[in-house]
Amino acid sequence: MPTPGYYRDLSNEAYHGGPGVSKSQLDLIHKSPALYQWSKAAPEDEEKKSALNIGDAVHAILLEPHRFAEQYAIGPADAPRNTKAGKEKWEEFEAGLNGQTVLTADEGRKVMLMAVRVKGGNRLAAQSEQLISAEVTRVLPVRTGDGAWDVETPTRDIVPFVAYVARSIGYTDDDLDFAELDRLGALWAQRGDTFDMAYESASTVKQIIGHALTGR
């Protein structure tokens, strides 16, 4: 447990696990000490809990990317628990957990959209008016060396993006030539090729995949 002092690289877990009160708790005390006392015994608000999980997950991707992979897992999409197929997907997913906080697929998408890699140092500007340079980092399932899919991870690799776009219009892995994609993926990784383009205007799936595969 850290002793009182100034710490530049204190982990989120150590920050919240130490003695004393947090900034948000100090804000409650500033409003009313009674609010702070009530918050410690108040029933848990699931909607607020979801918002806090999303906020902490984005914090982890920004400042502690290793912690995101260790402490968060994004649940399967299109897997309603009230169907047999959905239950099976969730059972398979939960069997692989090791104490991580589970984000739903929708929460995972929100985290993906908000996740940015801040350039130019590790210190965020204290004034909101100051501009920062940032770029989106997608959070997608990634390929393993044996051709299987691994957990969703911040990635700039080309193959996971191509598969994500293809799946968005109903394609399955059986419809894609993964032997060739994995061969190209290994070549691109060796060369350091990545794909960061974001699409804000209307583009066809063929155009998007073509940009990713050719770099044009």
pLDDT per position as a tens digit, 179-216: 888 888 888 888 888 887 766 555 677 778 877 877 65
Count the Cβ atoms, other than its own, within 10 Å of residue 175: 10
Q: Which pLDDT score is estimated for 20? A: 73
Question: Does residue 1 fall inside a structural domain?
Answer: no
Q: How far does the chain reach from its first CA to its final CA, in angstroms?
A: 52
How sure is the predictor about 123, in pLDDT bands with cuts at 50, 70 and 90? Answer: very low
Do 25 and 128 sit in the same domain of this protein? yes
Do 121 and 190 sit in the same domain of this protein? no
Do 34 and 99 sit in the same domain of this protein? yes
Question: Does residue 125 fall inside a structural domain?
Answer: yes
What's the number of domains the chain is made of? Answer: 2
Question: Does residue 208 fall inside a structural domain?
Answer: yes
Separation of alpha carbons 214 and 211, rounded Å: 5
Question: Does residue 209 fall inside a structural domain?
Answer: yes
Question: Considering 115, 136, 157, which residue would you say is the last residue of a domain?
Answer: 136
Question: Considering 93, 108, 136, which residue would you say is the last residue of a domain?
Answer: 136
Do 64 and 44 sit in the same domain of this protein? yes
Q: Tell me the whole-structure pTM to 2 decimals.
A: 0.42
**Which residue range forms the structural domain that includes residue 29?**
20-136
Inter-residue contact 74 to 139 (CB < 8 Å): yes
Higher pLDDT, 180 or 23: 180
Question: Does residue 8 fall inside a structural domain?
Answer: no
Do 131 and 173 sit in the same domain of this protein? no
Question: Does residue 211 fall inside a structural domain?
Answer: yes
Per-position b or e across 113-124, b if 16+ CB within 10 A of its CB: eebeeeeeeeee
User: In 3D, which of 103, 124, 119, 181 has the Cα closest to residue 149?
Assistant: 181
Inter-residue contact 164 to 122 (CB < 8 Å): no
Do 132 and 65 sit in the same domain of this protein? yes
| Largest distance between two CA atoms of the chain | 63
Question: Considering 76, 109, 136, which residue would you say is the last residue of a domain?
Answer: 136
Do 92 and 162 sit in the same domain of this protein? no
Q: Is 70 exceeded by the pLDDT of residue 46?
A: no
Inter-residue contact 73 to 90 (CB < 8 Å): no
Do 35 and 111 sit in the same domain of this protein? yes
